[in-house]
Amino acid sequence: MKNIFDITGKVALVTGATHGLGMAMAKALAKAGATLVVNGHTPSKMETALQQYQQEGIDARGYLFDVTDELQVSEQIKLIEKEVGPIAVLVNNAGMIQRVPALEMAASDFRKVIDVDLVSPFILSQAVAKGMIQRGSGKIINICSMMSELGRDTVSAYAAAKGGLKMLTRNLATEWAKHNIQVNGIGPGYFATEQTAPIRVEGHPMNNFILERTPAGKWGDPDDLAGAVVFLASKASDFVNGQIIYVDGGILATIGKPREKSVK
């Protein structure tokens, strides 16, 4: 059975994989056998990231380009496939968020979030799918969010983009399934990363909210995403298409607080 999760020799491109959840998923793919290619846009971050990969015995290849620039994406995809090999797995992870009340958010900032979080996955998927169609196989994994399903104060642009990404996932799956391409998504919940460290302290309102709201009663560990990303990148998911797997400790499954006070 373990052979159906083996992705040895497959070239996997993960965007925004110089840190955080992107790096965690990239490491998981590499440890499952993939030849890893990581994207970023800051030279210093890329250098540090490649050193981190190397320390774990992962020979990652780094490519710097703007995922929202069609010309750069087209050129870099061609370069990656020439220098490394045909891309079999694409993980559209690069993203951004701006926490601004809707009444105060400039339209230009709204468009920027949409461009990074929704338009760039379309650009990357389109560029990579051309080769996948010729080869008759491919895996595209879009990193969605719980905001693909829920609203929240101050994240109107992010939620709009992630909701759109969920539907883009389903539409690309519909169009490309006949070419043996599976397009699915992962919706991470709240994870313990460097970015969330300031609010993951006892007594912080957000920390308390997450612990009370999550049935698992804890923040996710980035390694918790490993199973989902390897599954969607492997033969094990060959008949899974247009789906979003929410890795959230059960948040979306419940409307109430899971840890009720005991009744005496």
SS (H, E, C) the chain: CHHHHCCCCCEEEECCCCCHHHHHHHHHHHHCCCEEEEEECCHHHHHHHHHHHHHCCCCCEEEECCCCCHHHHHHHHHHHHHHCCCEEEEEECCCCCCCCCHHHCCHHHHHHHHHHHHHHHHHHHHHHHHHHHHHCCEEEEEECCHHHCCCCCCCHHHHHHHHHHHHHHHHHHHHHHHHCEEEEEEEECCECCCCCHHHCCCCCHHHHHHHHHCCCCCCECHHHHHHHHHHHHCHHHCCCCCCEEEECCCHHHCCCCCCCCCCC
Whether residue 180 is predicted with pLDDT greater than 60 in this model: the reply is: yes
Confidence of residue 262 (pLDDT cuts 50, 70, 90): very low
Domain ranges of the chain: 2-193+220-253
Q: Give the pLDDT of residue 42.
A: 97
Q: What is the mean pLDDT of the chain?
A: 95
Give the residue, 261 or 248, on which the prediction is more confident: 248
Whether residue 169 is predicted with pLDDT greater than 80 in this model: the reply is: yes
Q: Give me the catalytic one of 53, 63, 158, 246.
A: 158
Q: Give the pLDDT of residue 260.
A: 55
pLDDT in tens, 108-145: 999 999 999 999 999 999 999 999 999 999 999 999 99
Q: Give the pLDDT of residue 257.
A: 65
pLDDT in tens, 228-254: 999 999 999 999 999 999 999 999 999
Whether residue 256 is predicted with pLDDT greater than 80 in this model: the reply is: no
Fold of 2-193+220-253: Rossmann fold (3.40.50)
Question: Would you call 158 a catalytic residue per the annotation?
Answer: yes
pLDDT in tens, 80-99: 999 999 999 999 999 999 99
